[in-house]
Structure 1
């Protein structure tokens, strides 16, 4: 019965027998047979089938609610037994917002997987809002976010302090200074993210705080593109300090701070209140907030 429920849930989520068969590494007739067996067992029709997709009947909708819970409880029971035996195994789904996902999480996962090689980790990247929503809806076990989130139904624990700094090419005249004033920037072209980007929102807030508006802007669609543009001498940019560690070591970029201002922001780890925490998730959280990992990440900035 457990396998039949797994097949049923997969068909629901894939909305197609062929895609479900591919995901389960089964033939389509085998998937159909398992669904027919379930329908015979309950004496109801679970799907309305057409040439493009399948839709659940009302009975299918009811069964899906219970089947998802049963499969989740089965996984939790299996994990709890492993935990009892001191094993750190199983699957761990992690979501991360863009800057963390690109520049912090790879280092974190490198340390984690060396310590716990039997944990199968999967990662999804999105903006902070998407990661928080996925956490609340049990699509991921734990999230790493760089923006504010609604604390309702979420445990939010800061684990790393970020800072927005002004980056310039290493040969730029401003690279010789530790601090600059807005008057030093009036003739500079600013490299910025596209409208609608979370990073663009943070930078616009920063400009408002400084009461400064760039004379010229060039938009790029990613943090990496912004760094490349600054290295090429197209302009300067405000960017997360954690995204420029490699360039600082290579000497291709330099950073300065604004005189009389600092722009810190916390990176936080989040999970849903009351959710079951596997041993793998507990170990990941513990590592993320540990002083050992923070020391390993410590940037060469003062």
Structure 2
């Protein structure tokens, strides 16, 4: 039937059985029989015939639209097969948190698409435990999480170490202090991540251990929003060093400050995938590129 749909589409596009028969290298009687058989199988009339002139019926127009869709899908399928034969990856589902999306993924995606421009990267977002579950259950082939995991059945590859830094506007009074301690955060207006997130749990644990109670002005799940709001509301924030690129700080008039106790927030960003040996070619390629990017010491891994 699908070959007959191609023949039908050719007749429509040529607006003539005669011209279509020459294009398809079929005799006109043979072409007429194929169109008649297609109409018989579908149980509809595709053309109104006015002598030698053919006019599409309403269902004929619908059929032609479907024939074009089939032609496009077939072309995509054949292109994908050709890429597969050449060793190129086709499509891979990558799981990552929204915070990872802002810090780790930009250099990785750029490197992957530069090497495999025809590949499709499907992103699945969620919290760290959701990404681990997504990879374990096969919804994501590969995941990037902001901490190590010993989940059974998963392979966990460390990519880089990271820790929190105190970020304020350059003109903030605390930016001029020669030495900062955790007690300087007591009562300090701050923007924190929302409750339930990994970053919030980590900062809450840090505050509890240090006996610090900051003045929480806002709770937001976006690094970008926090960066934009810091100068406006004269607040401070704890953000991962991997996100604090020099151009981001200078462009926003911000300062990244070190506090000794923040070294306790060090964590390892990791790549995870199922340890079953059945990764697709696309997933294997993504794993390879990820290791190359972060072992090369790209800026995001500093």
TM-score by length of 1: 0.65
Which residue number corresponds to residue 23 of structure 1?
none
What is the deviation of 1:148? 4.3
Mapped partners of 2:118, 2:166: distance in 1: 41
SS of residue paired to 1:239: strand
Note the 1:156-171 alignment, pairs <5 A: 156-171=156-171
SS in 2 for 1:111: helix
Q: Does 1:220 align with 2:219?
A: yes
CA distance, structure 1, for counterparts of residue 140 and residue 186 of structure 2:
45
Residue of structure 2 equivalent to 1:11:
none
Query: Matched residues in 1 for 2:206 and 2:251: separation?
Result: 27
Residue of structure 1 equivalent to 2:180: 180
Partner secondary structure for residue 218 of structure 1: strand
Partner Cα distance (1:236, 1:266) in 2: 24
In 2, distance between residues paired with 1:292 and 1:213? 36
Deviation at 1:128, TM superposition (A): 0.5
- State the alpha-carbon separation in 1 of the partners of residues 147 and 294 from structure 2: 24
Q: How many residues align?
A: 221
- CA distance in 2 between partners of 1:298 and 1:123 (Å): 19
How far does residue 108 in structure 1 lie from its aligned partner after superposition? 0.9
Q: Which residue number in structure 2 is paired with residue 207 of structure 1?
A: 207
Map 1:242-253 onto structure 2 (within 5 A).
242-245=242-245, 246-253=247-254
SS at match of 1:157: strand
Pairing 1:284–2:286 present? yes
Shift of 1:281: 1.8
1:231-274 CA-to-partner distances (Å, cap 9, x unmatched) read: 32431111112223252241521111113551211100000110
Which of these two proteins has the greater Rg computed from alpha carbons? 2
CA-CA distance at 1:293 after TM superposition: 6.2
8 A Cα contact 2:155 2:273, kept in partner: yes
Give the equivalent residue in structure 2 for 1:102.
102
Identify unmatched segments of 5+ residues in structure 2: 1-79
Kept in 1: contact 2:185–2:212 (CA 8 A): no
Is the 2:108–2:293 Cα contact (8 Å) retained in structure 1? no
Match of 2:145 in 1: 145
How is 1:1-302 mapped onto 2 (pairs within 5 angstroms)? 87-177=87-177, 179-214=179-214, 216-223=215-222, 224-245=224-245, 246-259=247-260, 261-262=262-263, 263-290=265-292, 294-298=296-300
Runs (4+) off by over 4 Å: 291-294
